[in-house]
């Protein structure tokens, strides 16, 4: 059976169970041949070709590999299929009925000779953990995209946070796989020599290869902290990337000066007395300058080093933030490809814990312990006053739960509230209602951003990639009047039936949020409609 089964987190067992179940139920020898590689699309076909006999797997290929073609063989006795089928009582009963037996035709030939060797014994299928799937699947996808694109490597704006560091670690995983594959694959060796423009090059060290392929840059502003700068530099040193540090405050100031020259007005941050509209624009201009600088460096870094070609710009926006819209349109989330665009923040943290030990990257421990922050607001005495969770008005765990309910379970506001009221028993229903309403307002306001999402590897069904995996409209009325009224009515019935007050004081409070003030994403006409960029 030839197949085109592609990688999804937690999916490998599905294909294997189907193959084993088919031969277990009816008996027989099953030859499963699956595609491998990305073929220029968003999915990675992950191999796992195998041979199954009577419900047991005898041989299999690797799930993740840079080698295009892999062949496995097994020696089987086809008489075992007949014996297995005859052992099934249902088949014995059918064969005892008044039916003529199949005629046997004996011919002077065999499918093998007597020196074929012993029969192949069954194996136990070893499944990868989700962290390993994140480590190897997107890495294989990046390799396929890189060699097909004809470019000379990758460029990544490295902020020192979980998301950009996850993209960096996936590239480093790819470099490790390339070094291992070059030991036995002439095809991979020829590809890497073409990419680095050196016909005699043979990679022996992943860090050295990373220095040739991977360029990282910390783009600081006056709002950046020394901690994130240090973490980005330490990670780049540990993986071996070609790292640079620049300050883009001058470019940001130049753009604001142009606006002030035309209008005679200069926007301010909210901590300096500015309105929410001014504060949001001040943050977005920093993020968008980073995107412009990233493409400038990607086009010219190899030219500056005397090498042909350019670099692919990598994005680092996770699936949770994309679905909620917690990103700036045309900022560093805009790139050529995004290796983590289909992966949740929760899974990325688990991956970094795995990568810390597998690749000996101790700085990842500090990155995981640090609060997630965009660093677009002024610092207070050198300390952060902005965190992602405070900006979003919800924790990443809550966002992941609501995002999956919206995308995978296709829940609207009312059905999500009913579901989460049961799932979050330690949170007062009034708080659940407020969180659901806040999520859907943000979802509707920012849905238009999904039309320009950077192509990302498809890692699971939880993906808002517009017009590909999520065909919902991209312009919503954010009031959700009918749905929110239904939530309020249901909440009133719950309050009456259970005998507790409408306030949250009678229930265990939800986990405390960071002290930073949430960024206000409001339209200029209240809750009637609008978008946030």
Q: pLDDT of 255-284, one tens digit each?
A: 999 999 999 999 999 888 999 999 999 999
E runs forming strands in 278-355: 312-313
Top-ranked range on mean pLDDT: pick from 98-102, 324-328, 503-507: 324-328
- Which run of H or of E encompasses 347? helix 345-358
User: Band of the pLDDT at 390, cuts 50, 70, 90?
Assistant: confident
- The predicted pLDDT at position 391 comes to 85
Residues 479, 484, 485, 486, CA torsion sign: positive
Q: Does residue 465 register a pLDDT over 80?
A: no
- pLDDT surpasses 50 at 506: no
- Average model confidence (pLDDT) across the chain: 86
Residue 401: is its pLDDT beyond 70? yes
Please, are residues 61 and 48 in contact by the beta-carbon 8 Å criterion? yes
Q: Cβ(396)–Cβ(346) under 8 Å?
A: yes
Residue 171 to residue 314: CA distance in whole angstroms = 10
| Distance between first and last Cα of the chain | 48
What are the C-alpha distances in Å from 513 to residues 309, 390, 425, 494? 47, 6, 18, 26
3-state secondary structure of 300: helix
- pLDDT band of residue 459 (cuts 50, 70, 90) is confident
Residue of higher predicted confidence among 352 and 8: 352
Among 116-130, 167-181, 331-345, top mean pLDDT goes to 167-181
CA–CA separation, 350 and 328 (whole Å): 26
Q: What's the CA gap between 418 and 190, in Å, rounded?
A: 57
pLDDT of residue 410: 86
Q: What is the DSSP string of 32-74?
A: EEE-EE-TTSS--EE---EEEETTEEEEE--SS-S-S------
Distance in angstroms (rounded) separating the CA atoms of residues 502 and 481: 20
Q: Alpha-carbon distance 368 to 355, whole Å?
A: 12
Neighbour-count burial of 113, counting CB atoms closer than 10 A to its CB (0-12 exposed, 13-18 middle, 19+ buried) = exposed
Instruction: State the pLDDT confidence band at 194, using cuts at 50, 70 and 90.
Output: very high
Return the half-sphere exposure (C-beta side, CA atoms, 13 A cut-off) of residue 187.
Answer: 9
pLDDT, position 528: 40
pLDDT at 508 over 50: no
Q: What was the pLDDT predicted at 438?
A: 93
Residue 153's pLDDT is what? 96
CA 504 → CA 163, 306, 468, 495, 508, distances in Å?
Answer: 34, 64, 41, 11, 8
Better-scored residue on pLDDT, 314 or 497: 314
Mean pLDDT computed over 494-504: 67
Q: What is the mean pLDDT of residues 308-336?
A: 90
242-247 vs 214-220, strand pairing mode = parallel
Segment 197-223 shows an average pLDDT of 95
Q: With b meaning 16 or more CB within 10 Å and e meaning fewer, what string describes 242-262?
A: bbeeeebeebbeeeeeeeeee
The whole-number average pLDDT for the span 430-451 is 91
Phi, psi of 396 (to 5 degrees): -65, -35
Q: Tell me which of 114 and 297 has the higher pLDDT.
A: 297
Q: Is the confidence at residue 361, as pLDDT, over 70?
A: yes
Taking Cα atoms as reference points, which of 172, 178, 176 lies closest to residue 239?
172
């Amino acid at each position: 059976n030839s197949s085109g089964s592609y990688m999804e987190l937690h999916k490998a067992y599905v294909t294997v169970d189907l193959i084993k179940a088919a031969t277990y139920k009816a008996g027989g020898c099953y030859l499963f041949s699956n595609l491998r590689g990305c073929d220029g699309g968003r999915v990675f076909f992950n191999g796992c070709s195998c041979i199954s006999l009577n419900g047991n797997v005898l041989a299999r290929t690797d799930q993740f590999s840079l080698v295009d073609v892999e062949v496995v063989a097994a020696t089987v006795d086809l008489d075992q299929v007949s014996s297995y089928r005859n052992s099934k009582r249902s088949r014995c009963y059918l064969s005892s009925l008044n039916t003529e037996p199949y005629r046997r035709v004996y011919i002077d030939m065999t499918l093998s000779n007597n020196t074929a060797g012993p029969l192949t014994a069954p194996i136990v299928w070893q499944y990868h953990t989700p962290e390993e799937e994140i480590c190897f699947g997107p890495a294989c996808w990046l390799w396929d995209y890189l060699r097909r694109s004809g470019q000379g490597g990758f460029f990544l704006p490295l902020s020192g946070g979980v998301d950009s560091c996850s993209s960096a670690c996936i590239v480093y995983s790819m470099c490790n796989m390339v070094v291992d594959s070059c030991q036995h694959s002439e095809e991979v060796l020829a590809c890497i020599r073409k990419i680095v423009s050196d016909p005699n090059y043979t990679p022996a060290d992943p860090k050295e290869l990373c220095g040739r392929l991977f360029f990282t840059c910390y783009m600081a502003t006056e709002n950046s902290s020394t901690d994130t700068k240090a973490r980005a530099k330490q990670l780049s040193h540990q993986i071996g990337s070609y790292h640079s540090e620049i300050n883009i405050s001058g470019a940001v100031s130049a753009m604001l000066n142009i606006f002030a020259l035309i209008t005679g007005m200069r926007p301010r941050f909210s901590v300096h007395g500015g309105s929410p509209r001014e504060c949001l624009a001040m943050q977005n201009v920093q993020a968008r300058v980073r995107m412009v600088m990233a493409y400038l460096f990607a086009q010219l870094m190899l030219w500056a080093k005397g090498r042909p070609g350019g670099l692919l710009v990598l994005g680092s926006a996770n699936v949770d933030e994309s679905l909620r819209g917690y990103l700036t349109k045309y900022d560093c989330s805009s790139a050529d490809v995004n290796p983590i665009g289909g992966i949740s923040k929760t899974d990325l943290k688990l991956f970094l814990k795995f990568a810390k030990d597998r690749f000996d990257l101790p700085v990842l421990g500090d990155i995981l312990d640090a609060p997630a922050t965009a660093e677009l607001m002024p610092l207070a005495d050198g300390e952060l006053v902005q965190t992602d969770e405070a900006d979003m008005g919800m924790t990443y765990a809550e966002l992941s739960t609501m995002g999956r309910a919206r995308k995978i379970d296709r829940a609207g506001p009312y059905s999500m509230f009913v579901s989460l009221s049961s799932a979050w028993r330690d949170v007062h229903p009034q708080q659940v209602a407020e969180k659901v309403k806040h999520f859907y307002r943000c979802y509707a306001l920012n849905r238009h951003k999904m039309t320009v999402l950077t192509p990302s590897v498809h890692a699971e069904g939880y993906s808002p990639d517009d017009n590909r995996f999520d065909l919902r409209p991209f312009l919503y009325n954010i009031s959700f009047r009918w749905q929110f009224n239904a939530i309020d009515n249901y909440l009133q019935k719950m309050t009456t039936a259970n005998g507790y007050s409408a306030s949250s004081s009678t229930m265990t409070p939800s986990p405390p949020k960071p002290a930073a003030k949430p960024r206000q994403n409001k339209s200029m006409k209240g809750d009637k409609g609008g978008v946030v960029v």
